[in-house]
Structure 1
């Protein structure tokens, strides 16, 4: 994630994922990154590209105002449509009421692989309106579960960058969510890593 490490990560946010072509592998010119945005490179079984992932945090739990929808993307449509969804940190007690409205649930607690799978299943089973959930595992990867329309859960474990600075789980699962709702198989997505800067 770009930005200052002093800025805490949000515990609930509107995520906007814009897929873009990545011919050079560098951050596109004119695109400003702040603490809410990351450029990532994704790779599937048959293709690769880049995406801009932006998280617009929701107000603190004490603020009961409506959560305004983020502005739409200003660019022309591409081969993958942009996706906007609500993600919530499942481990923050102040956001439990919001979890029933979430499209994506995230845990930031690293678990061994088997326990991470179990936690993803628990999150999806307890929140039937949620499409995807993510839990980081102890191998610096991320277990993501995506609910199929039949109710079955497809598990993916995309690489998310080197162990020194892996992408946060909410960024990885946001790309997987966008990938799935655009009609692609979640299991085809192999990696979601931070785009190198030049």
Structure 2
């Protein structure tokens, strides 16, 4: 979670969301976890994460930063209403469009950077590492590629570490996760102290659906 509130952006309009708070909830099926209440379908995604030892549901909600906000910063989104616990702690972080011309002040404060320009696989790999090197305050970067889904790089062990998640096809057939969802889950995974290579994949799921009960992590 970012430690400081970013400054309000300049007034103006631009198609699409180019900066938002991302809330990653690992207890969306909890009676108090009604994180999905309200909002449009483009503001949340649901997936099942998978490691070698466990799997479980995860919901990612995006709360766009208002361009009409007044004052020195943007308010944080509401916290998850369920009690602490679950397989992983919930995470709130700031993601910013790496290519947006209207958000230069936010790039230095972004926890996650997401490019919207698809590149060939090799170029996407180079681009994620370049963005990670250019923005030392950023923990994770995603760039869509033209062959799979996206290239993801995270800051791990003092250097850029590439971790490529290829989400499985979901239901309905052909459903996929946007890169900002993939990298947001990776950010939450990292700040929870997990190894980036241990997150094996994400499978998109429609919402609402009965979610699988998370399996506990191994103590080893």
Q: TM-score range by the shorter chain?
A: 0.7 to 0.9
**Aligned length, in residue pairs:** 184
Distance 1:30 1:181 in 2: 20
* Residues 146-185 of structure 1 aligned to structure 2 (within 5 Å): 146-148=154-156, 150-162=157-169, 164-185=174-195
Deviation at residue 33 of structure 1 after TM alignment = 6.0
1:5 corresponding residue in structure 2: none
TM-score for the superposition, normalised by structure 1: 0.84
**What is the DSSP-based 3-state SS (H/G/I as helix, E as strand, rest coil) of the residue aligned with 1:76?**
coil
Please say if residues 102 and 129 of structure 1, whose CA atoms lie closer than 8 Å, have aligned partners that are also in contact.
yes
Please say if residues 26 and 57 of structure 2, whose CA atoms lie closer than 8 Å, have aligned partners that are also in contact.
yes
2:149 corresponding residue in structure 1: 141
Deviation at residue 20 of structure 1 after TM alignment = 2.7
Deviation at residue 164 of structure 1 after TM alignment = 3.7
Structure 2 spans left out of the alignment, 5+ residues: 1-14, 210-220
Deviation at residue 161 of structure 1 after TM alignment = 4.1
TM-score for the superposition, normalised by structure 2: 0.76
**What is the DSSP-based 3-state SS (H/G/I as helix, E as strand, rest coil) of the residue aligned with 1:16?**
strand
- 1:15-34 deviations in whole A, cap 9, x for unaligned? 00011387xxxxx9995463
1:89 corresponding residue in structure 2: 97
Please say if residues 35 and 80 of structure 2, whose CA atoms lie closer than 8 Å, have aligned partners that are also in contact.
no
Larger Rg: 2
Note closer, same or farther for the CA distance 1:154–1:104 as it changes in structure 2 (3 Å cut).
Answer: same
Structure 1 spans left out of the alignment, 5+ residues: 1-7, 23-27
- 1:139-164 deviations in whole A, cap 9, x for unaligned? 2321111101x421221111224394
